[in-house]
Amino acid sequence: MIDLSELEHDTISELINIGVGRAAASLSEMVDQPVELTVPTITFVERFSDSNLTSSPEEVVSAVSQTFDGPFKGEAMLVFPEKRSLELVRRLLKVDVPLDTLTDLEQEALMEVGNIILNACLGSIANVLGEPINCSMPTFRKRETRALLNEDTAFDAASGKMPVLMILHVQFMLRQNDIDGYVLFVMDLDSIQTLKELVRRFLENALG
Amino acid sequence: MTNPPPPIVDIKDAAEAADLYSNLLDTADVGLVVIGSDHAICHWNQWMQSRSGIPADQAIGKRLSAVFTETRLGRLCQAIKDCLEFGMPAVISPSLNQGALPLRPLPQFAATFDRMEQSIRVHPITTSRGEKLCSLTVRDVTLAVQRDRLLRQQAAELADLVTQTRRSEDRTRAILQNTIDAILVASDDGNIEPLNARAQELCGPEGDPELSNIIRFLLPDSEHTPPQRPTADRLLTDLGTGVIEVLACTPNGRNVPLEVAISHFSADGRYHYIITLRDISQRKRHEMEIQRTMAELERSNSELEQFAYAASHDLQEPLRMVSSYTQLIARRYKDQLDETADEFIHYAVDGTQRMQRMIDDLLTLSRVGRHGKPFNAVPLDSLFDAIAANFRRAGLGPAGNIVRDGFLPTVTGDASQLLLLFQNLVSNGLKYSAPDKGEVRIYATETDESWKVFVADNGIGIEPQYHATIFEIFKRLHGYGEYAGTGIGLAICKKIVDRHGGTISVESAPGKGSTFCVELPKELPIVIPPESM
Amino acid sequence: MSQKRSVLLVDDSKFARLLVKAFITSNFADWRVDEAEEAEKAQAMAAEHAYDYLVIDFNMPGMNGLELGEKLRAAYPDAAIALLTANIQKEIQNKANGLGMDFLAKPPTEEKICDYLKGKEAGR
């Protein structure tokens, strides 16, 4: 079971916020316009179907995914409804072209955006906790929400290792409008426990 | 079974393997750079050398930022740092990092691209000794970027086109809908489709159910299924006159006269007719108004002429009696009464004679309208021959006082009236000139539509303020003593010219003579004033 | 360094407050370190006690760190005010400096916090 104290939750939350702050700064510099990124909420769920992401299961989403490995392992994903991802990329690239799907180049740009955010979140945690995390190159996928986790996730339901999801609600605040997306961390219970242990140890050390 | 032959390269042999991998790296169609934990470049493949123009020995051992003194490297350098410090891989996309590295594009792109468009991957590598390295893989995606731009451009153009087309369609529809005329289209299968609101109103369920049949009847090639001829009260004009007017009867009892215009076009290999129905209620009302006014005018004109004729004719009889007896008295009692009586009798005789002439002229004037003859070709040369002969016979003026100057045309008109017209003008000209050196010059000019015949004299001339009124009846500019005349002559001229659809005008100045201009149309006007019919 | 100073930490993250407080107390043992998790409480506390240092987070529910900083700057001209934030964009830094606030990028490290305070103390 996910059993985090308020302080542990707060710590993870703060680490993530520091990460996305850095990500926003580099994005802002890259696209030469103010980009603000905030994480209003972080929730933990045991089943993907419990998250409000699946409120419209047939909605097509764009996802940038990176697997990570180290003391805790799993998969991190930046997820947007496809329409929002189009909007985000085109706002960042300052183009307004009436194409209704991402072109290859836009897809790669979204991949870079995902890469920057996911690296920042993971890096922030790794940096503070003092444990290196190995990440894979990001991959892109586009599919219906309900099918987002069915494949590609390394977890095996038969083995009883049900994945646990840490879901960050991410808000991009751009000049014209806000675009909402999610960052998903899919980990098994062992990894969550390791993370919790690392946080606890870090707090002990830091606070004496 | 034989053993497979030994591999050509033995990768277990370190030297051979190193040679193979080095060759592989140098023949790869991507840029490969390896950066050590000290941030110094430790590999720079052939591709990087050729695309950057920097040989390996100038790159190896240096930081990337020292090899490329560039400001755009920010994101890439950060990614390398994160990779070396935290083992984070990175994607550097061409769209978010245009020309991250200053690499040359292939010659075919040199015209449109300053730099190669690159897609870069930054990846951590851990050596067998546990050392953290960072690899850069650089792909040339200039072609993809070019295609992407083309795609965007085309998409934008297409969207523009769609917007434009839609706007133009909306406009056309709005114009069609808001046209006052009803517009319908008929295809060759006889199907008639109302195109706008007015057409729907006239031919739809609220309109005239018979109208479609009438239209079908009017269409040129409806022979194969000849529709029934509409009843006479529905066709307001004769077919074949070029103007088609029909009457639409709506169920609510309103009758609308419509003018029908039919044009055609071909589309999809079929023939279509465009039928335009214009509501001519207003015009019809006006036409009726005009017709009524004309009829009234005609009636009052003819009454007036009747009156003038009757009056002058009936006046003649008693006048002739007065005239005969005053002349009888003058003859018989001359010198038998005193001088004053003789003078009085002379005035009485003169008066009756002038009255006689006036009545004659009035009769002539009324006859211009009442007894016109049909129009013929009238050669003006022979007309003036006759006039000259008349004047010679009457002994008016010296010989050669009527001069014809150049060519005189043949005009269309009533020969006897034209004779009267020009005889009056010539006579006028001579009358107001010095009797011994009076001269009238006749000449003609031509415009596209008319002949202008001028009658110019060298007489006393007319003050400008009278130019407009001299053609009115009983306008005399001089006392009876000075110049003979009834004041009706020019009125007769005007009436004759009017009947011929022409105009008469004068140009004159006192002492400089007068020039009368009669302009007669070459083609007779379509509408001849009713009083001349 | 013998001077006894007081610090008010304003951050909605308890973790961040604990961390910064730990860094301060382990280096300046006799300093007073108070905490507030949002702007209104911070204003009330500042009114009660004249703090030498105000360390404020940028992203907070309600009033943000810049708005709060501006109010506190006007009310307590002698206090040193620092914006401690994960939002490290130039725009925010410039705004903070414009309001007479120092800028500290998150994550807070012991070195970063101590260097800042020592530098300030040396200047007093």
What SS3 state is found at A30? helix
Q: Is the pLDDT of residue B60 over 50?
A: yes
Q: How close A49 comes to chain B (CA, Å)?
A: 30
DSSP B63: B
Residues of A in contact with B89 (CB under 8 A): 66, 115, 119, 135-138
Please name the residue of chain A whose CA is at the shortest distance from the CA of residue B123. Answer: A137
Please name the residue of chain A whose CA is at the shortest distance from the CA of residue B126. Answer: A134
pLDDT for B525 equals 58
Give the architecture (CATH level 2) of A6-207. Answer: 3-Layer(aba) Sandwich (3.40)
pLDDT in tens, B344-354: 888 888 888 88
Tell me phi and psi for residue B41, to 5 degrees: -70, 130
Four-way CATH pick for B375-532: 3.30.565.10, 3.30.980.10, 3.40.50.300, 3.40.109.40: 3.30.565.10
Give the architecture (CATH level 2) of B284-371. Answer: Orthogonal Bundle (1.10)
Residues of A in contact with B121 (CB under 8 A): 137
The CATH code of the domain that includes C68 is 3.40.50.2300
* A138 contacts B155? CB cut-off 8 A: no
- A161 or B104, which is more confident? B104
Q: Which of B71, B86, B122, B137 to mutate to test the interface with A (most CBs of A within 10 A)?
A: B86
- Distance (Å, rounded) from C-alpha A170 to C-alpha C5? 39
Q: Is the pLDDT of residue B321 over 90?
A: no
Per-residue pLDDT, averaged over B51-71, amounts to: 89
* B145 contacts A108? CB cut-off 8 A: no
Q: Is the pLDDT of residue B530 over 50?
A: no
DSSP string, B325-349: HHHHHHHHTTTTS-HHHHHHHHHHH
State how far Cα B286 lies from the chain centre.
25
Tell me phi and psi for residue B261, to 5 degrees: -120, 135
What SS3 state is found at A42? strand
pLDDT for B452 equals 92
Lowest mean pLDDT among A96-100, B73-77, B183-187, B437-441: A96-100
Per-residue pLDDT, averaged over B8-18, amounts to: 80
- Distance (Å, rounded) from C-alpha B103 to C-alpha B110? 11
Residues of B in contact with A102 (CB under 8 A): none
What SS3 state is found at B429? helix
| Angle (deg, nearest 10), helices B415-431 and B339-370 | 140
Q: Which residues in chain B are classed under CATH 3.30.565.10?
A: 375-532
Per-residue pLDDT, averaged over B10-32, amounts to: 87
Q: What is the ipTM of this complex?
A: 0.85
* C22 contacts A22? CB cut-off 8 A: no
- Distance (Å, rounded) from C-alpha A133 to C-alpha B393? 139
Strands C102-105 and A60-69: unpaired
pLDDT in tens, B328-340: 888 888 888 888 8
pLDDT for C54 equals 93
Contacts of A57 (CB under 8 A, 6+ apart): A144, A145, A146
Residues of A in contact with C26 (CB under 8 A): 208
pLDDT for B517 equals 92
What percent of chain B is modeled with pLDDT above 70? Answer: 91
Residue recorded with tokens 């052939």: B46
Residues of C in contact with A34 (CB under 8 A): 89, 91
Contact B94, B117 (CB under 8 A): yes
Q: Which residues in chain B are classed under CATH 3.30.450.20?
A: 14-140
Full residue range of the structural domain in which residue C24 is found:
6-123
pLDDT for B319 equals 85
Establish if C1 belongs to a structural domain.
no
Contacts of B485 (CB under 8 A, 6+ apart): B431, B476
- B312 or C4, which is more confident? C4
Strands C80-85 and C53-57: parallel
Four-way CATH pick for B179-279: 2.120.10, 3.30.450, 1.20.1050, 1.10.3210: 3.30.450
Residues of C in contact with A6 (CB under 8 A): 14
* A124 contacts C15? CB cut-off 8 A: no
Establish if C26 belongs to a structural domain.
yes
Residue C106 is encoded by which pair of tokens? 């998150």
Give the nearest partner residue to B87 out of A30, A93, A132, using CB atoms: A132
**pLDDT (tens place) for every residue of chain C, 124 residues total:** 457 899 999 998 888 898 899 889 888 888 999 999 888 999 999 999 989 999 999 888 888 889 999 999 988 988 999 999 888 778 888 889 999 999 998 888 888 899 999 998 888 7
Q: Is the pLDDT of residue B532 over 50?
A: no
Per-residue pLDDT, averaged over A23-38, amounts to: 84
Strands A163-173 and A36-45: antiparallel
Count of structural domains within chain C: 1
Strands B182-187 and B270-279: antiparallel
pLDDT for B487 equals 74
**Terminal alpha carbon distance of chain C:** 11
Count the neighbouring beta carbons within 10 Å of the beta carbon of residue B40: 15
pLDDT in tens, B186-195: 887 778 888 8
A1, B105, B117 from B110: Cα distances, Å: 60, 6, 11
Establish if C11 belongs to a structural domain.
yes
Give the nearest partner residue to B91 out of A103, A123, A138, using CB atoms: A138
Indicate the pLDDT class of residue A152, thresholds 50, 70 and 90: very low
pTM of the model: 0.62
Per-residue pLDDT, averaged over A155-178, amounts to: 73
Strands B514-521 and B450-457: antiparallel
Indicate the pLDDT class of residue B89, thresholds 50, 70 and 90: very high
Indicate the pLDDT class of residue B16, thresholds 50, 70 and 90: confident
Beta strands in B250-401 (DSSP E): 255-267, 270-279, 376-379
- Annotation: CATH topology of B14-140: Beta-Lactamase (3.30.450)
Task: Enumerate chain A positions whose Cβ falls within 8 A of a Cβ in B.
Answer: 26, 29-31, 66, 89, 92-93, 95, 97-99, 103-106, 108-109, 111-113, 115-116, 119, 122-123, 126-127, 132-138
Contact A192, A161 (CB under 8 A): no
What's the half-sphere exposure (Cβ side, CA atoms, 13 Å) at A118?
36
Give the nearest partner residue to A111 out of B88, B91, B156, using CB atoms: B91
Contacts of A168 (CB under 8 A, 6+ apart): A16, A39, A41, A42, A121, A182, A183, A184, A185
Residues of A in contact with B142 (CB under 8 A): none
Establish if C55 belongs to a structural domain.
yes
Per-residue pLDDT, averaged over A21-27, amounts to: 87
pLDDT for B221 equals 64
What SS3 state is found at A54? helix
DSSP C1: -
* B95 contacts A105? CB cut-off 8 A: yes
Q: How close B125 comes to chain A (CA, Å)?
A: 10
pLDDT for B481 equals 53
Tell me: cis bond preceding C107? Omega within 30 of 0 counts.
yes
Per-residue pLDDT, averaged over A115-124, amounts to: 89
Per-residue pLDDT, averaged over B285-308, amounts to: 85
pLDDT in tens, B370-404: 667 788 888 988 888 888 888 877 776 556 678 88
Lowest mean pLDDT among B450-464, B470-484, C105-119: B470-484
pLDDT in tens, B131-157: 889 999 999 999 999 998 888 888 888
pLDDT for A98 equals 65
Per-residue pLDDT, averaged over A35-59, amounts to: 79
- Distance (Å, rounded) from C-alpha A34 to C-alpha A16? 20
